[in-house]
Amino acid sequence: MKEDLHIRAQMLFAKSLVEGLPNAEQSWLDQHLHECAACARETASTQELVHALRNVSVSVPRDLAARTQLRLRLQESVPASQGKYLLWVITGFSWLVGVLSAPLVWRGFTWVGNHLHVPKLALEMGFVLWWVVPALFAVAAVLHQRGLNLSPSRGQN
């Protein structure tokens, strides 16, 4: 039971630092700190630490708030549907260019293979990777952007 009193005192002290306490709880905490030397020492050291942290100066650029607000406004001004539409257009264009340029790229691979005596299987694997790797980068970019949009810090006040 005695340990519960110390835990209650710790919780009330923490609450008093953040939001304050009603008179009844403050009176109980003051009485407990007067009677319990261990809790009084812990409270005093915590108050010293909080005081020291509040006196630490942190330098930030003067225009940090203005830049942050501008960035938020810019992000909110472009609707998400517009970004998705643009992504689909770019993807379609990429596929069209890929299909139309495939014969030319294959000729380049065979020319390099003939001059460097690269096995046909290695050329075929290189040709497949030529098309797959950029697609993987695009997927990674989309997933990264989606992760940024779903991050818990976004949209919270």
**Quick one: tokens of 119?**
């096995």
**Residues 48 and 86 placed together within one structural domain of the fold:** no
For 8, the domain range is: 2-54
In Å, what is the CA distance from 45 to each residue of 40, 52, 87, 99? Answer: 9, 10, 56, 70
Digit-by-digit pLDDT tens for the chain (157 residues) are 566 888 999 999 888 888 888 999 999 999 999 999 999 999 999 889 888 888 888 787 888 888 888 888 777 766 665 667 777 787 788 878 888 888 888 898 889 888 998 888 988 888 888 878 887 887 787 777 777 666 555 444 4
For the chain, the 3-state helix, strand and coil shares in percent, each to the nearest 5, are: 85, 0, 15
Predicted local confidence at residue 28, as pLDDT: 93
Predicted local confidence at residue 93, as pLDDT: 84
Predicted local confidence at residue 37, as pLDDT: 92
Q: Round to the nearest angstrom and report the end-to-end CA distance of the chain.
A: 40
**Residues 33 and 88 placed together within one structural domain of the fold:** no
102 found inside a domain? yes
The residue out of 37, 54, 71 marking a domain boundary is: 54
Predicted local confidence at residue 154, as pLDDT: 47
68 found inside a domain? no
SS3 109: helix
**Residue 90 burial (CB < 10 Å; 0-12/13-18/19+)?**
exposed
Predicted local confidence at residue 70, as pLDDT: 84
| CA atoms of 130 and 105, how far apart (whole Å) | 9
Predicted local confidence at residue 17, as pLDDT: 85
**Residues 94 and 145 placed together within one structural domain of the fold:** yes
| CA atoms of 39 and 16, how far apart (whole Å) | 15
Contact 128, 102 (CB under 8 A): no
Predicted local confidence at residue 81, as pLDDT: 59
